[in-house]
């Protein structure tokens, strides 16, 4: 397979659409648990179907990632930045899969119906149990913070590549 | 590595200038600050679920690990709801058809102290969870009073703050209580009611009011604002008052009565007319409003709350089936958010999550 300087169109579209969704999810999630206003209801109603959409799209994305070869990192990139790049991408993929599944399982363990609006209801992922609920709920929060920090590092690294190194890494995802 | 054949190579000279680093730092810090603001860490004045539950905890005399932070003292009941089809003209919810739906319920005493004597407060509550065969649920938390004292979560928090026990006397400071009710005339209807209210010696002779308005939605999508309540069929002993001499009379009473036979309530649904307040739980609707008898609630089994099926249920009143929707009542969102916080605290205590109170022999 030929190595291209840019990511393929499916990979780019998935990246930017999911980026918007995930950043929205992180802000919605942290906002809804810190609000007693009407926002709480609205945000919860968005959070659940949007999370399921992320789960569906990340499955597509993993297939796209496996079937296509991404552009290589610049050859002169220091080894530790290479490790950080691959490691953080792995963490981001893992969280994109884990967060929706934990959210879904957490609601199931709490005995809540997992409703997505419009009468759509998902089956319970695990049986109702308060101890399972508590651990999953704590994990959902801690991993959300990790997700946000990893996103921040990813964002900072992208800006570093685009503004300081100017090495084509950002162009590879922008696609021009 | 093969590069694209565009005229300018993507690998350019490294960017120079302090502004580039400043731009990176500023962008990252900006996103982090926005996150901190939305999450409440950088907005200390915001009323959060956490602060409300902290206030309830204080009002309840501190942490009682494993217990609910409000309505901590209670008992599980189960049975069924039998619809009669009358409300199906207004709502597509499956429970209103002429079918039997299993119910997991809980009678309780308001307040965060699981050992409060039954005579300490004149209000009782009944929470219900109805589950349809397809998994749809209707959860409702009702109180034996016709109106709520305040209309907003902010006022509720202010009330908790004004009525909390003074550390010196162990009792609320009368000046603060007076100042609160002086500043909240909307509590008038509640104060009027509470003046004549006596702590009932039985859960089963009480009427329980949903307090908040909701919308019923029919098959055509038409919304009708409603309030519901359950009204007891059993009246023997109604008006008997719980006394300090029998601090746990309610659980004994309900256990004896259900052992003798199922206890029943009518579910009455009142239809709002245009102009009736649907976002204010401090105001009753006029008595002549159309009221539908939607079916019968039958409770025929009692279990202790530390082992019964209601133990792990969060009676969040915004868990609703198709055909019932929340109104704009600001208390509903606040109840949902605060109940979730309370539920996380008590389940975390059950799980032994680090940093939370240990479950002692108190149980739940």
* Domain ranges (residues) in chain A: 9-174
B34 touches chain A (CB under 8 A): yes
Instruction: Count the neighbouring beta carbons within 10 Å of the beta carbon of residue A145.
Output: 13
Query: Which is nearest to B87 in space by CA: B343, B296, B251, B253?
Result: B296
Per residue in B41-66, pLDDT (tens digit) is 999 999 999 999 999 999 888 899 99
Nearest chain A alpha carbon to B279: A38
Q: Are B134 and A121 in contact (CB under 8 A)?
A: yes
Clarify whether B71 is annotated catalytic. Answer: yes
B29 touches chain A (CB under 8 A): no
Residue B89 lies inside a defined structural domain of this protein:
yes
Q: What residues have CB less than 8 Å from A84, skipping those under 6 apart?
A: A153, A157
Tell which wins on pLDDT, B238 or B81.
Answer: B81
Per residue in B298-328, pLDDT (tens digit) is 999 999 999 999 999 999 999 999 999 999 9
Chains A, B: CB contacts within 8 A come to: 153
CA B4/CA A166 separation, integer angstroms: 15
Residue with tokens 């109702």: A128
For the cut 70, the answer to whether the pLDDT of residue A125 exceeds it is yes
CA B352/CA B207 separation, integer angstroms: 38
Q: Are B329 and B321 in contact (CB under 8 A)?
A: no
Report the run of H or E that residue B364 belongs to, with start and end. none
Residue B16 lies inside a defined structural domain of this protein:
no
Domain count, chain B: 1
Query: Which is nearest to B101 in space by CA: B116, B81, B84, B85?
Result: B81
pLDDT of residue B3: 42
Return phi, psi of residue B325, to 5°: -130, 155
The token pair at A127 is 């049986």
Return phi, psi of residue B267, to 5°: -90, 115
Q: Are B258 and B302 in contact (CB under 8 A)?
A: yes
Top-tier CATH class for A9-174? mainly alpha
The band of B360, judged by pLDDT with boundaries at 50, 70 and 90, is low
Sign of CA dihedral B60, B64, B67, B73: negative
The token pair at B48 is 């959060």
Catalytic annotation, pick one of B50, B64, B71, B184: B71
Cβ-based contacts of B215 with chain A (< 8 Å): none
Which of A36, A42, A82 to mutate to test binding with chain B, by most B CBs within 10 Å of its CB?
A: A36
The token pair at B338 is 């605060």
Q: What residues have CB less than 8 Å from B245, skipping those under 6 apart?
A: none
Q: Are B74 and B109 in contact (CB under 8 A)?
A: yes
Q: Are B79 and B103 in contact (CB under 8 A)?
A: yes
Cβ-based contacts of B12 with chain A (< 8 Å): 166-167
For the cut 90, the answer to whether the pLDDT of residue B148 exceeds it is yes
Are the Cβ atoms of B39 and A30 closer than 8 angstroms?
yes
Strand partners, B104: B78, B129
Residue B359 lies inside a defined structural domain of this protein:
no
The token pair at B302 is 């009692």
Residue A78 DSSP code: -
ipTM above 0.90, yes or no: yes
Cβ-based contacts of A155 with chain B (< 8 Å): 27-28, 31
Cβ-based contacts of B332 with chain A (< 8 Å): 41
pLDDT of residue B321: 97
Residue B363 lies inside a defined structural domain of this protein:
no
Is B215 annotated among the ligand-binding residues?
no
Q: Which domain holds residue B190?
A: 73-337
pTM of the predicted model as reported, rounded to 2 decimal places: 0.93
Sign of CA dihedral B260, B261, B263, B264: negative
Residue B188 lies inside a defined structural domain of this protein:
yes
Strand partners, B324: B216
pLDDT of residue B11: 62
Kindly tell me the burial class for residue B195, based on how many C-beta atoms sit within 10 Å of its own C-beta (0-12, 13-18, 19 or more).
exposed
Residue B37 lies inside a defined structural domain of this protein:
no
Strand partners, A114: A122
Are the Cβ atoms of A130 and B34 closer than 8 angstroms?
no
Are the Cβ atoms of A40 and B337 closer than 8 angstroms?
yes
Q: What residues have CB less than 8 Å from B307, skipping those under 6 apart?
A: none
B132 touches chain A (CB under 8 A): no
Are the Cβ atoms of B24 and A156 closer than 8 angstroms?
yes
CATH of the domain at B260: 2.40.180.10
Nearest chain A alpha carbon to B323: A119
Gap from B50 CA to chain A (nearest CA, Å): 8
Averaged pLDDT for residues A100-128: 96
What radius of gyration do chain A's Cα atoms show? 18
Per residue in A1-52, pLDDT (tens digit) is 456 789 999 999 999 999 999 999 999 999 999 999 999 999 999 999 999 9
pLDDT of residue A4: 77
Nearest CB among A74, A113, A137 relative to B136 is that of A113
The token pair at B364 is 């739940």
Cβ-based contacts of B278 with chain A (< 8 Å): none
CA B183/CA B190 separation, integer angstroms: 14
Are the Cβ atoms of B52 and A36 closer than 8 angstroms?
yes
What radius of gyration do chain B's Cα atoms show? 25
Phi-psi category of residue A86: left, alpha or beta, with phi > 0 → left and psi -120 to 50 → alpha: alpha
Nearest CB among B326, B347, B350 relative to A41 is that of B326
Cβ-based contacts of B35 with chain A (< 8 Å): 26-27, 30, 148
Q: Are B151 and B46 in contact (CB under 8 A)?
A: no
Per residue in B238-281, pLDDT (tens digit) is 989 998 889 999 999 999 999 999 999 999 999 999 999 999 99
Which of B10, B137, B309 to mutate to test binding with chain A, by most A CBs within 10 Å of its CB?
A: B10
Return phi, psi of residue B296, to 5°: -120, 130
Gap from B47 CA to chain A (nearest CA, Å): 7
């Amino acid at each position: 397979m030929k190595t291209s300087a840019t990511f393929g169109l499916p990979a780019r579209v998935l990246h930017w659409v999911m980026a918007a969704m995930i950043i929205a999810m992180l802000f919605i999630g942290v906002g809804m648990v810190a609000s007693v206003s009407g926002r709480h209801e609205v945000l919860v109603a968005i959070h659940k179907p949007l999370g399921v959409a992320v789960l569906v799209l990340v499955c597509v994305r993993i297939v796209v990632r496996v079937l296509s070869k991404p552009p290589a990192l610049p050859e002169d990139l220091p080894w530790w930045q290479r490790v950080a790049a691959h490691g953080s991408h792995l963490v981001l993929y893992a969280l994109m899969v884990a967060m929706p599944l934990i959210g879904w399982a957490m609601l199931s363990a709490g005995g809540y119906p997992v409703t997505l609006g419009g009468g759509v209801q998902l089956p319970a992922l695990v049986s109702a149990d308060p101890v399972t609920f508590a651990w999953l709920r704590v994990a959902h929060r801690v991993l959300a913070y990790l997700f946000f920090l990893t996103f921040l590092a990813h964002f900072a690294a992208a800006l570093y590549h685009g503004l300081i190194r100017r090495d084509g890494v950002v162009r590879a995802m922008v696609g021009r | 590595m093969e590069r694209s054949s565009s005229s300018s190579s993507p690998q350019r000279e490294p960017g120079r200038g302090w502004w580039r680093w400043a731009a990176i730092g500023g962008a990252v810090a900006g996103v982090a600050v926005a996150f901190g603001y939305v999450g409440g860490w950088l907005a200390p004045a915001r009323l959060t679920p956490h602060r409300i539950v902290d206030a309830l905890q204080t009002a309840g005399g501190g942490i009682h690990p494993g217990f609910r932070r409000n309505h901590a003292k209670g008992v599980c009941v189960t049975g069924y709801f039998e619809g009669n089809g009358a409300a199906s003209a207004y709502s597509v919810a499956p429970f209103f058809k002429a079918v039997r739906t299993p119910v997991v319920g809980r009678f309780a005493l308001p307040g965060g102290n699981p050992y409060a004597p039954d005579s300490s407060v004149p209000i009782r509550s009944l929470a219900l969870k109805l589950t349809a065969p397809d998994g749809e649920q209707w959860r409702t938390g009702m109180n034996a009073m016709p109106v709520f004292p305040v209309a907003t979560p902010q006022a509720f928090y202010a009330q908790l703050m004004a009525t909390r026990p003074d550390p010196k006397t162990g009792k609320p400071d009368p000046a603060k209580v007076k100042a609160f009710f002086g500043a909240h005339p909307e509590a008038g209807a509640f104060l009027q009611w509470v003046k004549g209210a006596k702590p009932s010696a039985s859960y089963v002779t009480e009427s329980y009011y949903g307090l908040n308005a909701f919308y019923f939605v029919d098959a055509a999508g038409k919304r009708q604002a409603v309030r519901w309540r359950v009204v007891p069929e059993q009246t023997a002993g109604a008006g008997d008052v719980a006394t300090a001499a029998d601090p746990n009379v309610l659980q004994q009473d309900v256990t004896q009565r259900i052992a003798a036979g199922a206890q029943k309530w009518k579910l009455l649904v009142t239809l709002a007319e245009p102009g009736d307040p649907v976002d204010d739980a401090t105001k009753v609707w006029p008595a002549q409003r159309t009221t539908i008898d939607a079916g019968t609630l039958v409770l025929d089994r009692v279990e202790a709350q530390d082992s019964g099926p209601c133990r792990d249920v969060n009676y969040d009143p915004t868990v609703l089936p198709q055909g019932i929707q929340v109104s704009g009542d600001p208390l509903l969102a606040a109840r949902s958010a605060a109940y979730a916080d309370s539920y996380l605290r008590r389940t975390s205590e059950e799980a032994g999550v680090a940093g939370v109170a240990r479950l002692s022999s108190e149980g739940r």
